[in-house]
Amino acid sequence: MNIPDSSNPRVVIIGGGFAGVAVAQKLKNKEFQVVLLDKHNYHNFQPLMYQVATGGLESGSIAYPMRKIIKEHKEAFFRMTLVEQIDTENKKVITDIGTIYYDYLVIATGSTNNYFGNKEIEKNSMVMKTIPEALNIRTLLLENFELALQTNDMNERKALMNFVIVGAGPTGVELAGALAEMKKAVFPKDYPDLDISMMEINLIQGGEKILDAMSKKSSKAAEKFLKDLGVKIHLKTIVTNYDGKRIETKDGLSFDTHAVIWSAGVKGAPIEGMPQALDRASRIRVNEFNQVEGFTDVFALGDVAAMYGDKFQYGHPMMAQPAIQQGNLLAENLERLEKKQSLKKFIYNDKGSMATIGRNKAVVDLPKLHFNGVFAWFVWMFVHLFSLIGFKNKTLVFWSWVYNYFVFDRESRVIIRPYRKNRDIKTTG
């Protein structure tokens, strides 16, 4: 891998997401050699990915180069590589570009989609965990509209204009809201020769309420916002199959659609080599210092880690804040380990959660206050702008939002590379 030897202990971090980057940043110019490994050469700001999928933002505005993150660090290295295996016995990590030895290992690989074993759904639905996947959704959305124009078969046209989102957590809700906004303000202008009223947005949720990790008040408010925008919400509905053309549910609901977006579940993304420590959501069991059970030099953080406790029976929520806070504390604890001091326990500072539904509409749950509407929307925007890494990205996102707000537009509506997912659609053209 061409990493020089060092007199400092080597910290190998797998994953440059919120957790991994927090550790790397906090270890800047400390007495460690930091080696950051990721299969992508950029940090992805996932909370705004739905805006890339719906043409509101360019992908570059939510991606930040890893090399820039560690640019001014005295002894930090980045390698773009897929990590394949961990060998804790020999303290090494095996990747597709070689092997690297560690003194301390940080596993921060995040999460992956959970289809609960349904191979058909996995094969045919769209997901949004990475930027290329968000761009695939954007392309599919636009291609479906192009195809809808070309066909005279009304059933086919309806299926092409039917967008089904499975899972009404923040991702599903935000995506549904953005699509509904496009139906109202963008598509009628882009496709004047298409009957846009045929477009449907169906949001399917297995539980009794949408945004089920949020307060009842926020959930109700979000439901009303979505319904006002024309989104059809199906609660207590379990999807059983999607063959690429027809989606079916446990209680008999079914409809034709050429776009199913799966946001119904995630599970940890651990790496081969430590299966003994996995919990029921494939997360790695860690103690209150984020040490993987049975190890003092191997840590897991963020989405991939499950720290069971009184308040969080099955681990912390798979959100950015626990990942960042765990990363920050781990950097401090690594220094303490080197100084032979006792480690600090992780205590999650829950700052709340929020989701936006569309123009001027958001819901915010703070620890002691729940509110929604225009003010919540401004809070949502401020928090997301503030959280983006890099001045350039903050500026790009800010100006895109200002432009989109005043022009009622989503300017990134271009099909850069075609996308076909098991497609067999006949058109008249």
List all residues 6 or more positions away from 45 whose beta carbon is below 8 Å from its beta carbon.
Answer: 62, 63, 64, 387, 388, 389, 393
> Does 318 engage in binding with ligand FAD (CB under 6 A)?
yes
Stretch 37-56: interaction string toward ligand FAD, x if CB under 6 A? xxxx-----xx-xx------
> Does 323 engage in binding with ligand FAD (CB under 6 A)?
yes
Q: In terms of CB distance, is 148 or 270 closer to ligand FAD?
A: 270
Rounded Cα–Cα distance for residues 137 and 163 (Å)? 11
Q: Which of 10, 11, 12, 16 binds ligand FAD (CB under 6 A)?
A: 16
Q: Which of 179, 239, 271, 300 binds ligand FAD (CB under 6 A)?
A: 271
Length of the chain (residues): 429
Q: In terms of CB distance, is 46 or 202 closer to ligand FAD?
A: 46
> Does 241 engage in binding with ligand FAD (CB under 6 A)?
no
The yes-or-no answer on residue 248 being catalytic is no
- The number of beta carbons lying within 10 Å of the beta carbon of residue 261 is 26
Segments in 151-204 forming alpha helices (H) = 154-160, 170-185, 187-190
> Does 113 engage in binding with ligand FAD (CB under 6 A)?
no
Map tokens 């069971």 to a residue: 308
Rounded Cα–Cα distance for residues 204 and 166 (Å)? 5
> Does 267 engage in binding with ligand FAD (CB under 6 A)?
no
Map tokens 């195809």 to a residue: 147
Active-site hit among 75, 174, 181, 200: 174
Q: In terms of CB distance, is 121 or 269 closer to ligand FAD?
A: 269
Q: Which of 75, 143, 156, 303 binds ligand FAD (CB under 6 A)?
A: 303
Residue with smallest beta-carbon separation from ligand FAD: 17
Q: Which of 221, 239, 269, 363 binds ligand FAD (CB under 6 A)?
A: 269
List all residues 6 or more positions away from 210 whose beta carbon is below 8 Å from its beta carbon.
Answer: 168, 172, 173, 203, 219, 222, 223, 226, 233, 235
Number of residues that bind ligand FAD (CB under 6 A): 34
List all residues 6 or more positions away from 184 whose beta carbon is below 8 Å from its beta carbon.
Answer: 229, 230
Tell the smallest beta-carbon distance from residue 382 to ligand FAD (Å): 14
Q: Which of 59, 171, 219, 400 binds ligand FAD (CB under 6 A)?
A: 171
Phi/psi for 397 (5° steps) reads -65, -45
CA distances from 20 to 26, 259, 314, 418 (A): 10, 33, 22, 33
Tell the smallest beta-carbon distance from residue 39 to ligand FAD (Å): 4
Rounded Cα–Cα distance for residues 350 and 373 (Å)? 22
* Residues carrying an active site annotation: 174
> Which positions lie near ligand FAD, rule CB under 6 A?
14-20, 37-40, 46-47, 49-50, 82-83, 108-110, 128-129, 170-171, 269, 271, 302-304, 318-321, 323
